[in-house]
Amino acid sequence: MNGYAWLGLAIVAEVIATTALKASDSFSKLGPSLITAIGYAFAFWCLSHSMKTVPVGVGYAIWSGVGIVLITAIAWVLFKQKLDLPAMIGMGMILAGVVVINVFSKSAGH
């Protein structure tokens, strides 16, 4: 599997783990707490595989940027957290940064 596929799996696992972390109610609920621990462990395992071919700075920028946007969208839908205009503009800028890295940067190593 290529590095960006591993990175994609890492992001999905981290988003699931972070969503479960909110649902764990400070680790007081067993099911979500287990999902959190397993999800983060799997996310970092996948991230470590991605780092074999993806430059660390690029990988971390994609990991954090996509993760922030996905978690914010999930929080908006599942937890009814409100997003104001500056938050939405900021999310758009984060996504734009990820696109610029992937489309235009020679550092991305595609």
For 28-39, the pLDDT digits (tens) are 999 999 999 999
pTM for this predicted structure: 0.85
Question: What is each CA distance from 34 to 16, 24, 78, in whole angstroms?
Answer: 11, 9, 19
Helix, strand, coil content of the chain in percent (nearest 5) = 80, 0, 20
Q: Supply the pLDDT for residue 109.
A: 61
Domain boundaries, the chain: 3-108
- What is the structure's pLDDT at 30? 98
Q: Tell me the pLDDT tens digit for each residue of 26-82.
A: 999 999 999 999 999 999 999 999 999 999 888 988 998 999 989 999 999 999 999
Unique residue bearing structure tokens 């990175």: 7
The token duo for 100 is: 């610029």
Residue 108: pLDDT over 90: no
Kindly tell me if the per-residue pLDDT of 105 is higher than 90: no
Q: Cβ(35)–Cβ(72) under 8 Å?
A: no
Closest CA to 87 of 67, 73, 101, 99: 73
